[in-house]
Chain A
């Protein structure tokens, strides 16, 4: 170890000894939540409405932000009504010179997180972030004739890629040499024209000759029929398709392209929805057991009957000795009927901690134990 390093290690050890049982970072967070070495966070700097129900948040990420490639998404942790929720959103700007990132959120009707982000986020809000992730990125080698099929908020990762290829400035859209080889068609599907987020950006790109835009609105043109894809995109056979949208559409495109042997990349965010009901199989990750639980009695009781060694305490919901992480699934509080759901990729990475002594299974559950 270099002498400088050992000096720093010693200083860190001393700081830890001075702050135990907290860590030095807990005190530094009081002043500099975005510093290097902190848990990754971002501060919302501005909020720009895109349509009546969508907004773009420009965020200054913490110093440890590793950057991203256009098309990637970021998982964002936001406290909605005091409860930490995680959602994935596409990064809608390519890497920017000022180091800021942006996500565009469409308020899903009856949604929990997206309406909150669109309507209640104020500049200055701290969000929790994870590093950018996602394989849905623009190829830097290989095919340059591309077709983007986007439905609804599926446009967001594509906008990230297009902004990177063709940056918009006050003097119009830039045509960079690195982008000259790309030939892009965008088939944009939305319920109606006013609902269409980023439509202005797409039109500007089309006006500048950067892309060819085919916009289809359900209320004007009817639901998109993939049998007519050749008519909408005559050179379909020469293009590599990138599709982003709801699961149903992606499934249809996948089988359509497989039939024709056409290259395809897809992206879908909401991968899983939790089905709730009465009872269900409860699987325990570490012990490898699965217990068929009914919906009327606590998971603790039924798991014990099945021979699983469970932590337990008061058995009446007061002492929190029995808590275990619910990685995926839904449980119902037997005292109040309240549902707690854990969705892989949306709730905390480690799951939602539940009290097993007063919760019954409300559908299939996976528990970290």
Chain B
């Protein structure tokens, strides 16, 4: 992948070269109409939907926690852990994420409102809203501005120079997936940048760090102290603790996978910082269209992903009720097709594979993975070793040679 602005210059196809400024305006007008059609019909049916999801989630959580009181019995452990995993996923995805987006603010129900909601995650709602709604949704896929793109710990684009440290990124990414809620809390805090500042950390950071620690303390106490202690009546302290850890991990892996599928699979575009200077709303729409990917699947899949399986629709209209994304998806897809744009949608396994493939590919120097085959593996490994142990000069020279070879092989194939 290359930022969209550079594609033309290095011979790749720019996916929007065929669009005139008028086309972009017309696309925006059609998208506004789609948004309008949902707003005009928003009402009792939608309100019933979110209340039913919340009620289901709370019932499942309560039931699972009760079953886990006897988790020393293996069947109870399995049922309770499965139930709690599902409830935690629902709570974060279809409920928390979407309420915090303000998707349900129109109901004017103070209990289901972006300004009052708190969720079952290490990061406090306020900080997440800033990092996610404000930064990620405004600067979607702009390299260097959108933290969701690699969470500041990964190389996400060929344009970023390769460094030996990037070899570890499949591992970082996996560890981040396991402890995803803490990863999010850390990058909502902009922890990495703040740690580098040493003693000069801002007051804002200190305040927010305190809030995060307070939140984590409560979350940890609930899952690893209070509920295990309640289970002691049946001698289920450790089984309950393990069940809660498992449920948190399942939820983390699941949400990490879904979120990776949203912006990371092959075929999703990234953008340069300077490209968004003076960006208009129609251009912003276009960036969202090209910078997001959907997961195709059943209704259950959509609910369990918090309808982030309709990532494209969600990024175009972050504040529309999530139950409506599926309804407008055919219209949005038709619009993509009419303007000859790529509507990136695949089933979950393919999208997850695609996203991981990219993580691995970018952990290696540009073109390395593509030019390596069984025959040249020893020489390629030797080259990688040299690039890893050599200085910047060695890296630049070897990279130049490899890029050339890669281009030649592409040309031969064509």
Contacts and interface: CB of A to CB of B under 8 A. Distances in A.
Interface of A: 14, 17-22, 26-27, 30, 79, 81-85, 313-314, 316-321, 323, 335-336, 338, 347-348, 350, 352-353, 355
Contacts of B113: 353
B54 to A, nearest CB: 9
Contact of A321 (B42, B44, B105, B134): B134
B58 A18 contact: no
Given A30-B58, A79-B47, A314-B137, A320 B119 contact: no
Q: Which of A14, A26, A84, A336 has the most CB of B within 10 A?
A: A84
B219 interface: yes
B115 A353 contact: yes
A168 to B, nearest CB: 37
Contacts of A14: 226
B409 interface: no
Given A17-B218, A30-B62, A81-B44, A320 B110 contact: no
Interface of B: 32, 36, 39, 42-48, 55, 58-59, 62, 65, 101-102, 105-110, 113-115, 118-120, 129-130, 133-134, 137-138, 218-219, 221-222, 226-227, 230, 281, 284, 318-319
Secondary structure dominating the interface of B: helix
Contacts of A336: 36, 39
A168 B143 CA distance: 76
B221 A318 contact: no
A280 to B, nearest CB: 22
A316 B284 contact: yes
Contacts of B32: 335
A21 B130 contact: no
A29 B333 CA distance: 41
Contacts of B109: 79, 84
Q: Which of A14, A81, A335 has the most CB of B within 10 A?
A: A81
A319 B137 CA distance: 7
B218 A21 contact: yes
Contact of A17 (B36, B221, B281): B221
Nearest to A319: B133
Contacts of A335: 32
Contact of A313 (B107, B130, B222): B130
A18 B231 CA distance: 12
Contacts of A350: 110
B55 A18 contact: no
Contacts of A82: 42-48, 106-107
Contacts of A355: 102
Q: Which 6 A-B pairs give the minimum distances between C-beta atoms?
A: A82-B47, A320-B102, A319-B133, A313-B134, A21-B118, A81-B43
B108 A20 contact: no
A320 B101 contact: yes
A320 B226 contact: no
B137 A318 contact: yes
A313 B135 CA distance: 8
Contact of A347 (B101, B108, B130): B108
A342 to B, nearest CB: 10
Given A18-B227, A18-B230, A335-B32, 17 more contacts: A17-B221, A20-B218, A20-B222, A21-B120, A21-B218, A79-B44, A82-B42, A84-B110, A313-B133, A314-B137, A316-B138, A316-B284, A320-B101, A321-B133, A348-B110, A353-B108, A355-B102
A81 B39 CA distance: 12
Given A27-B62, A336-B39, A347-B108, A320 B130 contact: no
Nearest to B117: A21
Contacts of A27: 58, 62
B230 to A, nearest CB: 7
29 contacts: A20-B218, A22-B58, A27-B58, A30-B58, A30-B62, A79-B109, A82-B45, A82-B47, A83-B47, A83-B106, A83-B108, A84-B107, A84-B110, A313-B130, A313-B133, A313-B134, A314-B134, A314-B138, A316-B284, A317-B319, A319-B129, A320-B114, A321-B133, A323-B102, A323-B115, A347-B108, A348-B108, A348-B110, A353-B115
